[in-house]
Structure 1
Amino acid sequence: MSELLSEPFFELKGSLFPLSVIHSSDLSVAGLQAALQQKLDQAPGFFHQAAMVIQLTPDHQTVDFNALKQLFQQLKLVLVGVAGASTEQKQLAQAAGLAVLRLGQDSKPLAPAPGSSGEARVEQVPMHTKVVEQNIRSGQQIYAKGADLIVRGAVGAGAEVIADGNIHIYGTLRGKAIAGASGDSTKRIFCQNLQAELVSIAGHYWLSDSLQGDFWNKAACIRMQDDSIAIGEL
């Protein structure tokens, strides 16, 4: 009996999990509700019970953290904590039961020129490949668990393709593509025509309005660079 009692029954291990970070100049309940609802309407399934952090700035003088927690619960989101808090903001956030986190430097959307030094990454873990021969239609979801995914067709609006590895789409990407779903930020999304509702790599995501730049309606490679999604030429 003494040997059983001496064995550890509780263990803490460090780990990394993807969190969505909210940057907003308006942290009033009404203002944030409108902004969040717009994103939820664009990709409701992706954001359901999503863990989120609010990025604070010195301009956020008065924030009702208790009211924001209630708002997130109503929207079926999980407000984990805040980042960038001042001493006063830290005390108020902690009083509301929120974690105070330290994140890396704010990242900006990148679209680097092809051939730049940050493009090449070595794939350390070999993966199997799942091949889908037909178009993926609205309402369909394809998941390549522990594998790369190749779609030899288009991904329609309202469709979703997910892979723990890379995603290759030989047709037009109009729906959602989520690569590195198990948390591997070295994975990429390749498509012949970028018109996506959402792209995500290892929990980092861009919605359609952020994608409509130089590579919209073109062949594109989507990857992570400096903790931000970057889009380059295929």
Structure 2
Amino acid sequence: MTDAPQASDRPAFLLKGTTVSLTALELAYFDEDSFEAALREKIRQAPGFFRDIPIMISLEHYDGPTAELDFFKLLGICRRHNIHVVGVRGGDEDQRRLARHAAIALLPGSSRQERPPSPETRPETDAPAEAELDSPDSGNAPVTPAPARVVSQPVRSGQQVYAPEGDLIILAPVQAGAEVLAAGNIHVYGPLRGRALAGVHGQEEARVFCQSLEAELVSIAGHYKISEDLQERGWKAPVQIQLRDDLLVVTPLDRSPG
């Protein structure tokens, strides 16, 4: 008679922290027909980008009636178009309760909401803060920028390269079908043919630099342009891309010396 097989000492699963870049759908109001028509048009512009994409619904700029916010209908529309809603960000208590009833995860607010006040708006009682940071007795170490991640090999189709804290510097081409992401800026010293997502934690000052713009998609802090839009300016030329007034602006890089 043989002994019964022993249960494995290896755990069935492990929980690990990770960071995933998500596209935010900023909802201004919800009308079933208008929402589906707008979504269908976006998918028509970039069908490959939206196929099976996970998104979060941002309610931070929602100004429609809460009574019209039907998450069950919204989820149904997205599922019909192979888009997967994984969470809701922002919103008031009533709106978040509706999301919870629809079994949608509740995500923390964006980094823009969490930024400290600027020096112009900081209360007068906070005035000594700068002196305290410089004081040797304060115990605060000087803030140093996050190190950049440097990649010297080409980024192949299907690969994803991520710099979760600082800039991403790629000394080779980024091929079509590849994806590069960074908390800060992205520098590509070669053709950029895949997807580039800079400022993935909401850093609107992030930029994308490349020696030849041939990208499928470029995104900065959740604002994006697809290939068809990017071809209007600077296509297959050295450019920088930055965010101005919630719009991505492409400008040429000056190749002249000095």
Q: What TM-score range do you get, normalising by the shorter chain?
A: 0.5 to 0.7
Q: Where does the alignment leave 5 or more consecutive residues of structure 1 unmatched?
A: 1-16, 58-62, 84-93, 99-123
| Higher RCO structure, 1 or 2 (CA under 8 Å, sep 6+) | 1
Deviations 1:150-191, CA, capped at 9 Å, x for gaps: 111111110011111111001111100111112211111000
User: 211, 219, 222: which one pairs with 1:192?
Assistant: 211
Alpha carbons of structure 1 residues 37 and 53: separation in structure 2 relative to 1, 3 Å? farther
Residue 166 of structure 1: aligned partner = 185
Residue 231 of structure 1: aligned partner = 250
Name whichever of 129-138 and 43-52 sits farther off: 43-52
Residue 47 of structure 2: aligned partner = 41
**Cα distance in 2, alignment partners of residues 40 and 52 from structure 1:** 21
Letter in 2 for 1:43: F
Q: Where does the alignment leave 5 or more consecutive residues of structure 2 unmatched?
A: 1-21, 100-142, 254-258
Deviations 1:63-107, CA, capped at 9 Å, x for gaps: 9955334212552136859x9xxxxxxxxxx7x947xxxxxxxxx
Taking structure 1 as the reference length, the TM-score comes to: 0.62
Deviations 1:104-143, CA, capped at 9 Å, x for gaps: xxxxxxxxxxxxxxxxxxxx96221111112111001111
1:145 deviates by 1.9
Trace 1:13-162 onto structure 2 (pairs within 5 A): 19-21=24-26, 28=33, 31-32=37-38, 34-38=40-44, 41-44=47-50, 47-52=53-58, 65=70, 67-74=73-80, 75-77=83-85, 80=88, 97=98, 126-162=145-181
1:18 deviates by 7.7
Bigger Rg over Cα: 2
Letter in 2 for 1:163: A
Alpha carbons of structure 1 residues 33 and 150: separation in structure 2 relative to 1, 3 Å? closer
Contact 1:178 1:199 in 2 (8 A): yes
For 1:165, what is the secondary structure of its paired residue? coil
Contact 1:127 1:165 in 2 (8 A): no
Letter in 1 for 2:37: G
Contact 1:180 1:201 in 2 (8 A): yes
Alpha carbons of structure 1 residues 18 and 126: separation in structure 2 relative to 1, 3 Å? farther
Q: What value does the CA root-mean-square deviation take over the aligned residues? A: 4.1
**Cα distance in 2, alignment partners of residues 126 and 46 from structure 1:** 35
Identity of aligned residues (%): 36
1:54 deviates by 11
